[in-house]
Amino acid sequence: MRPVSAVRRLFRRVTLTAVLGLVAAGLSTALPAAPAAAAGGLQQVTGFGSNPGNLAMFAYTPANLPAGAPLVVALHGCTQSAGDYFAHSGWQKYADLWGFALVLPQTNSSNNSSSCFSWFDATKDTRGKGEAASVLQMVTTAQAQYGSDTHRVFVTGLSAGGGMTADLLADYPDVFAGGAVDSGLPAQCATTLTAASGCQQNNQNLTPAQWGDKVRASNPGYTGPWPRVAIWQGTADYVVYPVNATELRDQWTNVWGIGQSASSTQSLAGGTTLSVYNDSAGKAAVQLYSVSGMGHGTAVSPGSGTENCGSTGAYYLNYICSSYWTAKFWGLDGPSSPGGGTGTLPAPAAPAVTGTTDTTASLTWSAVSGAASYSVYRGTTKVGSTTATSYTDTGLATATSYTWTVTAVDSAGVAGAASAAVTGTTTGYQAQCFTASNYAQVTAGRAHQSAGVAYANGSGQNMGLWNTFVTHTLKQTAPGYYVVADSGCTA
Q: Is 159 known to be catalytic? A: yes
What CA–CA distances, in Å, run from 298 to 95, 153, 237? Answer: 18, 21, 11
Q: What is the 3-state secondary structure (H, E, C) of 429-441?
A: CCCEEEEEEHHHH
Straight-line distance from the first to the last Cα atom of the chain, in angstroms, rounded to the nearest whole number = 30
10 Å Cβ neighbour count for 477? Answer: 14
d(CA 342, CA 23) in angstroms, rounded, equals 46
d(CA 39, CA 94) in angstroms, rounded, equals 17
Cis peptide before 338 (omega within 30 of 0): no
Tally of residues, the chain? 491
d(CA 108, CA 221) in angstroms, rounded, equals 34
What CA–CA distances, in Å, run from 402 to 60, 218, 235, 371, 392? Answer: 36, 33, 24, 25, 13
DSSP 271: G
The residue from 115, 148, 159, 322 that is catalytic is 159
- What residues have CB less than 8 Å from 261, skipping those under 6 apart? none
| Cross-strand pairs, 463 | none
Q: Which residues are catalytic?
A: 159
